[in-house]
């Protein structure tokens, strides 16, 4: 068996089993956009980079309120989350020109939720050929851009699309 070293994953692995005293999404919204990699803030929710992306440009839409289930969202939260999904799709399309997207919500641990107590929507850009021999034969995924670089690259696209669609944003 070949061994591929990915030492950056250790931080993630430690966090999965660690006893959490706080929620990463609740903590992220308290810090500056640059420190938390928040691309856009609305009134009820925000868009943040995924620190452990499935693909380049993988973002998440998260309500500010700590809520575990989609059915617990208020009408305003649900509507804004969908507006931020639309903005995310447009911004990522303009920036990276992906061929498609996966959009998903994992409700509960058995559904794959890594953070099961604070709902979030994954938006993952996909390209023809991004499922190549590496994941199929090698069992590894190659991410072509550092998440911090992705954040800096995407931020102006999110701002432009939000302004074009008339979303009142708040930066921190």
Can you read off the two tokens belonging to residue 160?
């432009």
pLDDT at 7: 66
- Residues contacting residue 40 through CB under 8 Å, at least 6 positions apart: 46, 47, 84, 87, 158, 159, 162, 167, 169
Region 75-90 average pLDDT: 97
- Structural domain spans, the chain: 24-163
Considering only 3-12, 51-60, 75-84, 145-154, which range has the smallest mean pLDDT? 3-12
Average pLDDT, the chain: 85
Catalytic residue among 58, 66, 99, 120: 120
Amino acid 9: pLDDT? 64
Q: Is the pTM of this model over 0.85?
A: no
- Cβ partners under 8 Å of residue 151, min gap 6: 34, 37, 39, 49
pLDDT in tens, 65-77: 999 999 999 999 9
Q: How is residue 72 annotated by DSSP?
A: G
pLDDT exceeds cutoff 60 at 123? yes
Judge whether 44 counts as a catalytic residue.
no
Return the CATH fold of 24-163: HIT family, subunit A (3.30.428)
> Could you give the strand order of the β-sheet that contains 121-126, starting from the edge strand earlier in sequence?
38-41, 45-49, 59-63, 121-126, 100-104
CB atoms within 10 A of CB 92: 25
Residue with tokens 């950056």: 8
Q: Is 40 exposed, middle or buried (0-12, 13-18, 19+ CB in 10 A)?
A: buried
What average pLDDT does the segment 126-145 reach? 64
């Amino acid at each position: 068996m070949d061994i591929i070293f990915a030492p950056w994953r250790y931080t993630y692995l430690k966090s999965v089993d660690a006893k959490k005293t706080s929620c990463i999404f609740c903590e992220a919204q308290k810090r500056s956009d640059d420190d938390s990699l928040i691309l856009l803030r609305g009134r009820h929710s925000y868009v943040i980079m995924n620190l452990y992306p499935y693909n380049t440009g993988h973002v998440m839409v998260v309500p500010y309120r700590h809520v575990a289930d989609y059915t617990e969202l208020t009408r305003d939260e649900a509507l804004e989350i969908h507006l931020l999904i639309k903005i995310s799709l447009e911004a990522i399309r303009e920036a990276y020109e992906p061929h498609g997207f996966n959009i998903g919500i994992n409700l509960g641990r058995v559904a794959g939720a890594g953070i099961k107590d604070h709902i979030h929507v994954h938006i993952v850009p996909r390209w023809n050929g991004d499922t190549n021999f590496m994941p199929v034969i090698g069992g590894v995924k190659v991410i072509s851009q550092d998440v911090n670089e992705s954040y800096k690259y995407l931020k102006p696209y999110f701002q432009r699309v939000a302004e074009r669609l008339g979303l009142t944003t708040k930066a921190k």
